[in-house]
Chain A
Amino acid sequence: MIKGFAGFIRLASRPLLIGLLLCSIVHAAHKPAASISAAALVQPAALVAQLRDKSATAPVLLQVGSRALYDQGHIPGSRYAGPAGEPKGLESLHAAVASLAKDTPILIYCGCCPWNRCPNIAAAYDELKARGFGAVKVLYIAQDFGADWIDKGYPTESS
C-alpha cells in the first residue's frame, strides 16, 4: 500500500516537477520585475491621463514584449523594442534607443505575463539604466496587458 501510494505520488507529481524545473530554468535566467524600485513605476491610469493631457510631454514609449502581443494591440505611439529577456530582444532595444539622448524620458512596458513572472521588464529597465538613460519609467502591469489595459478601455492601436 505504501509502495503504491509512493508510486502514485511520484506519478502524480512528475508533470509538476517537470514544470517547476522548466519554470525555474526560465526564472533563473530572468531578473524579477520586483527588483524595479517603486519610484520608477507608473500606474496605467496615470499614463492614460498623461497621454490625454495634450500639454504634457509624452515619454518615448517602448514595448519590450513579444511581437505577436504588440501587433495585436499596443499603447498608441509606442514602438516595438523586442522581448528584452532574450539576447535578440536586447539588441532590438539597443537599436530602438540608439538615437535618443540619455536624458530622454522613456517609459517601457510589457504585460506578457503577471508582473512577478515577466521575463522582459526588469531586463529592459536594467539595460537602459546601465546604458546611462536617467529618465526611465516602467508601466506597472499587474496581471497582463489584456486585463490591465485592454479590458479597461484604455487607448489602444494595432499594427
Chain B
Amino acid sequence: MNAPSAPRKIRIATATLGGCFGCHMSLLDIDERLLALVEIAEFDRSPLTDIKHCGPGVDIGLIEGALCNAENVHVLREFRANCKFLVAVGACAINGGLPAQRNRFDVGDILKKVYSDAPDGRSRVPNDPELPLLLDKVYPIHDVVRVDYFIPGCPPSGDALWKFLTDLIGGRTPRLDYPQFHFD
C-alpha cells in the first residue's frame, strides 16, 4: 500500500480486555500484509510484543474486549492516556458483546453460583488481591473513556482491519467497504 515516508514509524498498541483474542487473530489474518505494516509501524504494548505497559506517544491504540473487571479499567485508562487515537475493535469493545450476556444477572449471584455452591457449602469466592474484582456489569469501552474510532465485527475480518489501518495511517477518514461491515 501507499506507505508514507514518515520520519518515524507509526506506533501501534493493542490489548484484549474481556475478549476472546479473536480480534487479535484477525489482525494476524492480514497475513503477508503484516510485513508491509511493520515497514511503517512498530508495536508498543501488545500480546504480539509482550510489552507490559502502553508507553507515551502511541499513535493508534486498538482495544479488543469489554470492561469486565478492575484490571480492564486500568488498561483502558492507560491506553486512553497514551494513545492519540483509541479504537474499539470488535463487538465486545463496542457493545459488551458476549461477556455482557451476564448483565441480566446480579454479579454477586454469579460469584456465589460459581464459587460458593460447593458441596460442603463453604464460601470460596477468592480474596487474593492479585485477582481483579468483577464490575457489577460488563460495559462497552465508550461508557468509560472517549473512543475515537470503532471497527465492528465478531471479529472484524483481517481485510476490515487492514482497510481501517491503511485509511487512518494514510490520512483518510477510515471507512469500511460493504462486505467488510459486519456485526457478527
Asked whether A and B interact, the reply is no
Residues on B facing A (Cβ under 8 Å):
none
Interface residues of A (CB under 8 A from B): none
